[in-house]
């Protein structure tokens, strides 16, 4: 027994754990520090002026054709003043999420070349800023690239600002093939943003709003994650390799008392979060909110809203920074959707709105009514969105089919895999009355006044609608919130889908109006056909799946089955019509999703087998307990792996992977967890849930002061 316990102690010392930071840091040192590491606004204009360029040059993407060399010189001068001498084109390969969270592609090059005299000199040319070349076949491509046709090109994305981290200038780019096929997550997003802008402007014109040049999707991403002791993390091969625990007995304490949500953050975790916010603040990432979440050791960051491309780029960097900063504080950051069984998992709520270049929010009833002078405008827009959600619910479900969401959707912590929307009582009543009468008046939602009967507390107003956390896509007044998105996801596909389906629905409305129909008549017909998708009740109830089936709304429980819908002829036609993706690009993404899912499960299965053989089995034998059930479970997992490897195609492999993961491996987990319950603590060599989940009871004298 003493030998096994010594081994556990030794394994935790194989890597030195970084000491916790003991000096407290205020993450905002001054507003002048915000965005100092981002090449935009006044900071960029100062360096652009030295090149003879006007202030605001970067706001017009035409600079890429007229002034690239001068902008490149300005970027290099700015970088030098910040101590940076390296640049990289920074892109998002297909499948960029879940395995190495926030995974991006980047090749670092220094700002120098050799002059005619043979001496090195600092140099950064416009063509180097705008375009790079790399191997396109070494990333997932769904067959669009091969070893003998490997050309891949990175091209600057002017919609997302250049920034510095450490000694490196990051240049956000797209990544495409020799033939212009999108090999990345961002290119279809940019196309979809162009589509929703075009069709929003078109429809707004029919609703009385002229002078609109563009409409952009503005999003806010609420990032949830766990922070666990790094020493315990090193004693969990599953957390290190797959991001979630593949086995583990529940601790005596969980979230039963609801005592973790918005509690005072753990002191060590708080210092870690402050440093994350500080680094993000310098990079122009506005992480405004932080708080404890529902599960023990679970936390959340939330930024202010921003344009979709920028927010997604920044969120990828937030995930990377969180992992790296956590290590400096003796912690490990876990952004996986379900790191632990039996307690809440993590999401990345995707708040979504549409705004004009003049600052009008299309989902804000007061703003859109005033801007259009048309009391029907809000109702028409909401009717078009209702149609989009119902008609393309399968694509919305596909967009959240990350491997980790298998364990989260419908678990009374995230909305179910039934696609519906919540409008609330007042919006629903307004639209229902319109559907019945055909008359679309002004929607008025003044809210209500709440008086607590305490003289010292003044009466206050509350919104017109309550919050519905059980809906996958509720309207929250001025925005929709896609609550079902997974925490480890790159949300480019999520927002590509939202922009595309909204664009198509707006185009449908415009087509009907241009054919002679009244906007209100088009809206009434759409509501009548698609009303079923509006559900204001409890999405966690046992009755809702039954009711949803009667209504015929989209329900796809299997993430693998939902992936298949991307290549459905109906959806291929949608993406081609909106000029977002070709059939070739959509089919390739479907294959990449299958491979990504199956690869993830394969890692989990192999890790589980290693843990059984190297940890659970020796501990069980040392405790002189029966190993028959464990050995049988291990053989079943091995057989499931063999069946995966023998699958004839990517879809079959992914389908078998799902069965292995959700059935065979879950059965093996029950065996392992029962043995953990029976094996004496001194013989168990894996960090337990109790050791992983309760920082408050595991910290010592290293509390920051």
CA of residue 227 relative to chain centroid, distance: 18
Q: Decide if 243 contacts 226 (C-beta within 8 A).
A: no
**421 and 354 in a common domain:** yes
Average pLDDT over residues 177-181: 93
Determine, yes or no, domain membership for 136. yes
How many structural domains is the chain composed of? 2
Average pLDDT over residues 551-567: 95
**174 and 251 in a common domain:** no
Determine, yes or no, domain membership for 199. yes
**554 lies in which domain range?**
192-592
- Computed from CA positions of residues 306, 478, 544, 344, in that sequence, does the dihedral angle turn out positive or negative? positive
**329 and 311 in a common domain:** yes
Last residue of a domain, one of 184, 211, 245: 184
Cα–Cα distance measured from residue 242 to residue 350, given in angstroms and rounded to the nearest whole number: 24
Q: What is the CATH number of the domain that holds 526?
A: 3.30.590.10
Nearest in space to 292 (alpha carbons), one of 317, 269, 308, 326: 269
| Residue reference for tokens 């529940």 | 250
Question: Tokens for 515?
Answer: 């054919």
Residues 479-495 as b/e (b if ≥16 CB within 10 A, e otherwise) read: bbbbbbbbbbbbbbbbb
Cα–Cα distance measured from residue 244 to residue 227, given in angstroms and rounded to the nearest whole number: 13
pLDDT surpasses 60 at 3: no
Determine, yes or no, domain membership for 659. no
**227 and 119 in a common domain:** no
Per-residue pLDDT band at 461 (split at 50, 70, 90): confident
**134 and 199 in a common domain:** no
Nearest in space to 71 (alpha carbons), one of 133, 127, 109, 112: 127
Residue 165 gets which letter from DSSP? E
414-446 pLDDT, tens digit each = 777 899 999 999 999 999 999 888 888 788 877
Cα–Cα distance measured from residue 560 to residue 590, given in angstroms and rounded to the nearest whole number: 10
Our CA angle for 65, 69, 70, nearest 5°, is 105
Average pLDDT over residues 201-225: 97
Q: What is the CATH number of the domain that holds 109?
A: 3.10.20.70
Percent of the chain past pLDDT 90, that is, above it, reads 79
**382 and 295 in a common domain:** yes
What are the percentages of helix, strand and coil residues in the chain, rounded to 5?
45, 15, 35
pLDDT at 145: 84
pLDDT surpasses 60 at 7: no
564-621 pLDDT, tens digit each = 999 999 999 999 999 999 999 999 999 999 999 999 999 999 999 999 999 999 999 9
**205 and 166 in a common domain:** no
Our CA angle for 537, 542, 543, nearest 5°, is 60
81-128 pLDDT, tens digit each = 999 999 999 999 997 666 655 578 999 999 988 988 989 889 999 999
232-279 pLDDT, tens digit each = 999 999 999 999 999 999 998 888 888 888 989 999 999 999 999 999
Cα–Cα distance measured from residue 413 to residue 489, given in angstroms and rounded to the nearest whole number: 17
Averaged pLDDT of the chain: 91
**201 and 84 in a common domain:** no
**121 and 211 in a common domain:** no
Our CA angle for 366, 526, 350, nearest 5°, is 55
| Residue reference for tokens 């002229």 | 210
Nearest in space to 103 (alpha carbons), one of 359, 393, 319, 394: 319
Which tops the pLDDT comparison, 704 or 249?
Answer: 249
SS (H, E, C) 359-383: CCECCCHHHHHHHHCCCCHHHHHHH
Pairing of strands 168-177, 86-91: parallel
Question: Tokens for 79?
Answer: 């970088």
Q: Decide if 643 contacts 544 (C-beta within 8 A).
A: no
The reply to whether the predicted model has a pTM over 0.85 is yes
| Residue reference for tokens 């063509």 | 127
**440 and 384 in a common domain:** yes
C-alpha to C-alpha distances, 141 to 99, 176, 377, 601, nearest whole angstrom? 17, 10, 42, 20
**489 and 349 in a common domain:** yes
Nearest in space to 389 (alpha carbons), one of 412, 355, 364, 423: 423
Determine, yes or no, domain membership for 176. yes
pLDDT at 15: 45
Which tops the pLDDT comparison, 14 or 215?
Answer: 215
Q: Within a 10 A sphere around the Cβ of 36, how many other Cβ atoms? A: 13
Determine, yes or no, domain membership for 567. yes
561-576 pLDDT, tens digit each = 999 999 999 999 999 9
Last residue of a domain, one of 132, 164, 184: 184
Question: Tokens for 176?
Answer: 């495409």
| Residue reference for tokens 């709520």 | 349
Determine, yes or no, domain membership for 619. no
pLDDT at 172: 97
Last residue of a domain, one of 592, 611, 626: 592
Determine, yes or no, domain membership for 442. yes
280-337 pLDDT, tens digit each = 999 999 999 999 999 999 999 999 999 999 999 999 999 999 999 999 999 999 999 9
Determine, yes or no, domain membership for 12. no
**504 and 424 in a common domain:** yes
Question: Tokens for 413?
Answer: 């912590």
pLDDT at 410: 66
């Amino acid at each position: 027994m003493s030998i096994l316990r010594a081994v556990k102690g030794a394994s935790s010392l194989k890597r030195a754990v970084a000491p916790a930071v003991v000096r407290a840091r205020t993450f905002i040192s001054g507003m002048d520090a915000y965005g100092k590491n981002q090449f935009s606004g006044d900071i960029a204009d100062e360096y652009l002026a030295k090149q003879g360029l006007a202030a605001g040059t970067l706001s017009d993407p035409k600079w890429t054709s007229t002034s690239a060399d001068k902008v490149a010189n300005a970027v290099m001068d700015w970088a030098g003043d910040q101590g940076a001498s390296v640049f990289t084109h920074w892109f998002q390969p297909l499948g960029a999420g879940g395995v190495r969270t926030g995974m991006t592609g980047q090749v670092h090059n220094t700002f120098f070349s050799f002059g005619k005299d043979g001496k090195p000199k600092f140099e950064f040319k416009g063509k180097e800023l705008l375009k790079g070349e790399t191997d396109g076949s070494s990333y997932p491509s769904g067959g669009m690239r091969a070893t003998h046709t490997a050309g891949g090109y990175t091209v600057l994305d002017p919609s997302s600002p250049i920034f510095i981290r450490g000694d490196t200038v990051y240049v956000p780019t797209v990544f495409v093939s020799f033939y212009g096929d999108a090999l990345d997550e961002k290119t279809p997003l940019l196309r979809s943003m162009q589509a929703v802008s075009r069709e929003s402007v078109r429809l707004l014109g029919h609703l009385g709003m002229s002078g609109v040049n563009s409409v952009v999707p503005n999003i806010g991403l609420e990032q949830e994650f766990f922070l666990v002791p790094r020493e315990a993390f090193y004693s969990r091969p599953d957390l290190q390799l797959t991001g979630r625990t593949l086995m583990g007995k529940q601790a005596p304490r969980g979230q039963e008392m609801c005592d973790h949500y918005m509690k005072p953050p753990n002191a060590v975790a708080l210092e870690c979060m402050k440093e994350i916010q500080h680094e993000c603040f310098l990079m122009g990432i506005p992480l405004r909110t932080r708080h404890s979440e529902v599960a023990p050791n679970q936390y959340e960051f939330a930024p202010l809203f921003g344009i979709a491309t920028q927010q997604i780029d920044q969120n990828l960097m937030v995930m990377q920074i969180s992992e790296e900063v956590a290590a400096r504080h003796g912690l490990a950051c876990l952004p996986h959707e379900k790191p632990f069984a039996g307690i809440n998992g993590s999401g990345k709520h995707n708040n979504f709105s549409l705004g004009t270049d003049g600052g009008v929010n299309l989902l804000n009833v007061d703003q859109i009514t005033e801007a259009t002078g048309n009391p029907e405008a809000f109702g028409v827009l909401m009717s078009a969105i209702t149609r989009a959600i119902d008609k393309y619910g399968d694509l919305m479900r596909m967009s959240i089919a990350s491997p980790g969401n298998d364990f989260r959707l419908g678990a009374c912590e995230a909305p179910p895999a039934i696609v519906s929307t919540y409008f609330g009582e007042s919006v629903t009543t307004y639209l229902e009355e319109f559907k019945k009468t055909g008359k679309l008046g002004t929607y008025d939602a003044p809210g209500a006044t709440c008086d607590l009967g305490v003289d010292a507390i003044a009466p206050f107003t509350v919104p017109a609608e309550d919050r519905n956390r059980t809906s996958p896509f509720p309207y929250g007044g001025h925005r929709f919130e896609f609550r079902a998105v997974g925490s480890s996801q790159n949300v480019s596909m999520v927002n590509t889908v939202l922009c595309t389906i909204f664009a198509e629905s707006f185009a449908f409305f415009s087509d009907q109006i241009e054919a002679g129909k009244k906007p209100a008549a088009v809206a009434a017909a759409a509501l009548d056909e698609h009303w079923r998708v509006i559900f204001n009740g409890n999405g966690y109830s046992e009755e809702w799946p039954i009711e949803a089936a009667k209504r015929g709304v989209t329900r796809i429980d299997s993430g693998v089955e939902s992936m298949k819908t991307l290549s459905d002829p109906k959806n291929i036609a949608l993406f081609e019509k909106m000029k977002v993706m070709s059939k070739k690009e959509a089919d390739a993404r479907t294959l990449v999703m299958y491979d990504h899912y199956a690869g993830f499960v394969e890692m989990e299965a192999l890790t589980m087998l290693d843990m059984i053989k190297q940890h659970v089995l020796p501990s069980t034998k040392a405790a002189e307990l029966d190993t028959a059930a464990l050995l049988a479970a291990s053989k079943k997992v091995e057989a499931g792996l063999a069946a995966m490897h023998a699958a004839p195609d990517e879809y079959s492999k992914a389908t078998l992977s799902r069965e292995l993961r959700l059935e065979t491996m879950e059965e093996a987990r029950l065996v392992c967890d029962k043995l953990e319950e029976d094996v004496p603590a001194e013989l168990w060599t894996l960090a337990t849930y109790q050791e992983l989940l309760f920082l408050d009871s595991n910290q010592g004298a290293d509390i920051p002061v």
